[in-house]
Amino acid sequence: MRGILITFEGGDGSGKSTQIRLLAERLTAVGLPVTTTREPGGTAAGEAIRDLLQTAKAGRNLTPEAELLLFAASRAQLVREVMEPALASGAVVLADRFADSTTVYQGTARKLEAENVAFVNRLALGTLRPDLTLLLDLEPEEACRRRTARSGPDRMESLPLSFHEAVRDGYLRLAAQEPERFRILDATLSVEALHEAVWNLLQE
């Protein structure tokens, strides 16, 4: 039986990585095979691209178009090397970001043509689409506070508040356009309460 792809989306600092870890632990405890992924990254090539996009000096002046193509390159490798084989084996795949991130960050916030972004996403994804997308919604000001409390923001996280406001707006519009796939969760909840909300959604 083919597995299930659940993607986690939301602005930087909304708690996606923590919720994926908790959900993976709980699914594993009930005997389900789980594969977790992150974007950019998840493969040797993807991790090299992640470094370029987030921390390397060489990536500081990337154009929006270059960003779009690099994120897509990382995703294309991840889909074919990790995600599709895991799904074919029957695993639950929990993805820390997926194509919706590109639609919102490079399309909505970077203002690249939606048609071009959609074309690049289709090329990277092939036929793969999420079964369920959990949007962890958080006010950009609170997300900024959380990021500041961590070890320090990366290149994308350091962008102005207006950029992150556009990201949030873009996610909410996507969720409104695809209500059958998206579920919006309040990321201001405690870690434990948010995990229970995620788990309850999956039980439904």
With a cut of 90, say whether residue 148 has pLDDT above it: no
With a cut of 90, say whether residue 168 has pLDDT above it: yes
Q: Which helix (H) or strand (E) holds 159?
A: none
Predicted pLDDT of residue 153: 67
Predicted pLDDT of residue 157: 72
Instruction: Provide the pLDDT confidence category of residue 151 given band limits of 50, 70 and 90.
Output: low
Q: Distances from the Cα of 80 to the Cαs of 19, 102, 169, in angstroms?
A: 25, 18, 30
Q: Mean pLDDT in the chain? A: 95
Three-state DSSP state, 155: coil
| Residue 90 zone, left/alpha/beta (φ > 0; ψ -120 to 50; rest) | left
* Mean pLDDT computed over 43-54: 97
Q: Across the strands, what pairs with 96?
A: 8, 38
The CA-based angle 95-98-103, given to 5 degrees, is 160
Instruction: Provide the pLDDT confidence category of residue 152 given band limits of 50, 70 and 90.
Output: low
Amino acid identity for residue 81 in this structure: E
pTM of the model: 0.94
With a cut of 70, say whether residue 202 has pLDDT above it: yes
Give, rounded to a whole angstrom, the gap between the first and last alpha carbons of the chain.
20
* Mean pLDDT computed over 165-186: 97
* Mean pLDDT computed over 8-30: 96
Q: Is 136 exposed, middle or buried (0-12, 13-18, 19+ CB in 10 A)?
A: buried
With a cut of 80, say whether residue 1 has pLDDT above it: yes
Predicted pLDDT of residue 149: 72
pLDDT in tens, 66-76: 999 999 999 99
